[in-house]
């Protein structure tokens, strides 16, 4: 549904210059959408003019479209982060769970079915020289898979970043939903923290439950060039906390701005109004639907604690380039899908 910028509560007080800076990172990389690429020269010029010029750029070059589900409901928002954990380049009693590199012959973007999580965890890739780094246990490795990246603090003090390199082409299954459906965790209690707690409290069943998510992620080593920025997302751009959004690529090109309006919990559970201009720079197998997004919240434990609490409805307003034809899906949409 078309809107005016004046209809967006909180728009006038937004830091449009911060969003524009993030957009310029997308402009500097291949993979940005064609229509967005045409606006990059104007974006670069606007960035020299401060906050007022940044706001004027968005208002002059885009039209706001509210995206809702088929029944008119708001969209669905989750959040993710970059874990920071201890690890080692060598296996041992303290660090026993490997993160694997992409197997030879398997391309990064391949969707062809490969070994399942259960088969890999049972040793199908063991001893083939694909172990990049070792973390504490399979539960820690599992949550790194869910996030798609991590910073690993090595024993000699160095910090190694691992990022997404590819996946096994198997379907993603939310094991949180599996446990809720089985009556093992109350739906109202479910969060990433509660899920982790259950797995640690049930070591005899943890591997069996995790194996129900057949999807498996492969990693690559990355340098930590700027500690203030997050890992490299699917577009090839370092993610920015509170500004980078993972979206469904069936609906959005990278670089598209999206205005979010929601009430999200802080780490202590207190609700906070969240109105923010985001830039689409990442994607994920669990992000399905136009009214669906995954908010990047940064690195470390605090970011992880907050990300684990966010499973909330949100208003999605995509800023569509003026010169681009309206998408065919801009009318009623399938219901936003959750993890």
Q: Is residue 197 a contact partner of residue 142, using CB atoms and an 8 Å limit?
A: no
Domain identity same for 115 and 213:
yes
Q: Domain tally for the chain? A: 2
Domain identity same for 100 and 212:
yes
- Which pLDDT tens digit goes with each residue over 308-330? 889 999 999 999 999 888 887 76
Strands (E), the chain: 62-67, 75-82, 84-86, 97-100, 131-135, 149-153, 159-167, 217-222, 244-246, 257-265, 271-282, 292-299, 311-321
If one compares 213 and 225, the residue with the highest pLDDT of the two is 213
- Which pLDDT tens digit goes with each residue over 11-27? 999 999 999 999 999 99
Q: Tell me, yes or no, whether 338 lies in a domain.
A: no
Domain identity same for 154 and 263:
no
CATH number at residue 94: 2.40.240.50
Pairing of strands 84-86, 149-153: parallel
Q: Tell me, yes or no, whether 100 lies in a domain.
A: yes
Which pLDDT does position 337 carry in this prediction?
32
Which pLDDT does position 332 carry in this prediction?
46
- Which pLDDT tens digit goes with each residue over 114-170? 999 999 999 999 999 999 999 999 999 999 999 999 999 999 999 999 999 999 999
Domain identity same for 289 and 272:
yes
Domain identity same for 166 and 285:
no
- Give the pTM: 0.83
Give dist(CA 299, CA 80) in Å, integer: 9
Give dist(CA 262, CA 210) in Å, integer: 31
91 token code pair: 């296996």
Q: Is residue 234 a contact partner of residue 285, using CB atoms and an 8 Å limit?
A: no
Which pLDDT does position 208 carry in this prediction?
97
170 token code pair: 């198997």
Q: Tell me, yes or no, whether 293 lies in a domain.
A: yes
Domain identity same for 116 and 213:
yes
Q: Grade residue 220 by pLDDT with cuts at 50, 70 and 90.
A: very high
Q: Is residue 172 a contact partner of residue 166, using CB atoms and an 8 Å limit?
A: no
Domain identity same for 194 and 321:
no
Q: Grade residue 71 by pLDDT with cuts at 50, 70 and 90.
A: low
Mean pLDDT of the residues in the chain: 92
Q: Is residue 247 a contact partner of residue 258, using CB atoms and an 8 Å limit?
A: yes
293 token code pair: 């997004």
Residue count of the chain, please give it: 339
Which pLDDT does position 68 carry in this prediction?
81
Q: Tell me, yes or no, whether 335 lies in a domain.
A: no
Q: What is the DSSP string of 145-188?
A: HHHTEEEEE-TTS-EEEEEEEEE-SPPP--HHHHHHHTTSS-GG
Domain identity same for 32 and 162:
no
Among candidate residues 222, 254, 285, the one where a domain is terminated: 222
Q: Tell me, yes or no, whether 286 lies in a domain.
A: yes
334 token code pair: 């399938």
Q: What is the DSSP letter of 227?
A: T
Q: Is residue 309 a contact partner of residue 265, using CB atoms and an 8 Å limit?
A: yes
CATH number at residue 71: 2.40.40.10
- Which pLDDT tens digit goes with each residue over 221-240? 987 778 888 998 999 899 99
Q: Is residue 294 a contact partner of residue 232, using CB atoms and an 8 Å limit?
A: no
Q: Is residue 266 a contact partner of residue 49, using CB atoms and an 8 Å limit?
A: no
Domain identity same for 120 and 214:
yes
Domain identity same for 90 and 192:
yes
Q: Grade residue 182 by pLDDT with cuts at 50, 70 and 90.
A: very high
Q: Which domain holds residue 90?
A: 84-222
Domain identity same for 325 and 271:
yes
- Which pLDDT tens digit goes with each residue over 271-290? 999 999 999 999 987 888 89
Q: Tell me, yes or no, whether 146 lies in a domain.
A: yes
Among candidate residues 205, 222, 239, the one where a domain is terminated: 222
Domain identity same for 106 and 215:
yes
Q: Tell me, yes or no, whether 253 lies in a domain.
A: yes
Q: What is the DSSP string of 184-200?
A: SS-GGG-SHHHHHHHHH
Q: Is residue 293 a contact partner of residue 264, using CB atoms and an 8 Å limit?
A: no
- Give the count of alpha carbons within 13 A of 251, CB side only: 26
Q: Measured between alpha carbons, how far is residue 126 from residues 75, 78, 146 in Å?
A: 41, 34, 21
Among candidate residues 182, 207, 222, the one where a domain is terminated: 222
Q: Tell me, yes or no, whether 254 lies in a domain.
A: yes
């Amino acid at each position: 549904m078309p809107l005016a910028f004046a209809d967006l509560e909180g728009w006038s007080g937004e830091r449009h210059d911060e969003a524009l800076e993030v957009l310029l990172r997308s402009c500097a990389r291949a993979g940005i959408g064609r229509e967005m690429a045409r606006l990059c020269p104007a974006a670069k010029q606007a960035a020299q003019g401060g906050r007022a010029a940044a706001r004027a750029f968005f208002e002059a070059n885009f039209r706001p479209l509210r995206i809702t589900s088929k029944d008119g409901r708001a969209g669905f928002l989750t959040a993710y982060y970059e874990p920071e954990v201890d690890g080692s380049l060598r296996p041992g009693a303290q660090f026993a769970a490997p993160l694997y590199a992409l197997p030879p012959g398997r391309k990064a973007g391949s969707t062809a079915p490969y070994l399942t999580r259960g088969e890999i965890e049972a040793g199908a890739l063991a001893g083939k020289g694909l172990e990049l780094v070792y973390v504490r246990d399979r539960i820690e490795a599992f949550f790194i898979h869910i996030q798609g990246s991590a910073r690993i603090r090595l024993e000699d003090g160095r910090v190694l970043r691992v990022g997404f390199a590819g996946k096994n082409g198997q379907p993603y299954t939310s094991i949180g939903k599996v446990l809720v459906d089985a009556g093992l965790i109350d739906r109202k209690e479910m969060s990433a923290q509660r899920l982790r707690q259950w797995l640690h409290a049930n070591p005899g069943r943890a591997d069996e439950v995790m194996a129900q998510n057949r999807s498996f992620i492969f990693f690559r080593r990355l340098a930590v060039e700027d500690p203030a920025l997050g890992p490299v997302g699917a577009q090839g751009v370092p993610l920015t906390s509170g500004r980078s959004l993972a979206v469904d690529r069936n609906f959005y090109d990278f670089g598209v701005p999206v205005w979010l309006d929601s009430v999200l919990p802080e780490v202590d559970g207190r609700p906070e109004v969240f109105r923010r201009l985001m830039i689409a720079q990442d994607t994920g197998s669990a992000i399905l639907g136009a009214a669906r997004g995954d908010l990047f919240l940064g690195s470390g434990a605090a970011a992880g604690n907050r990300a684990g609490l966010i499973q909330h409805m949100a208003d999605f307003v995509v800023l569509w380039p003026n010169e681009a034809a309206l998408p065919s899906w801009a009318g009623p949409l399938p219901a936003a899908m959750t993890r």
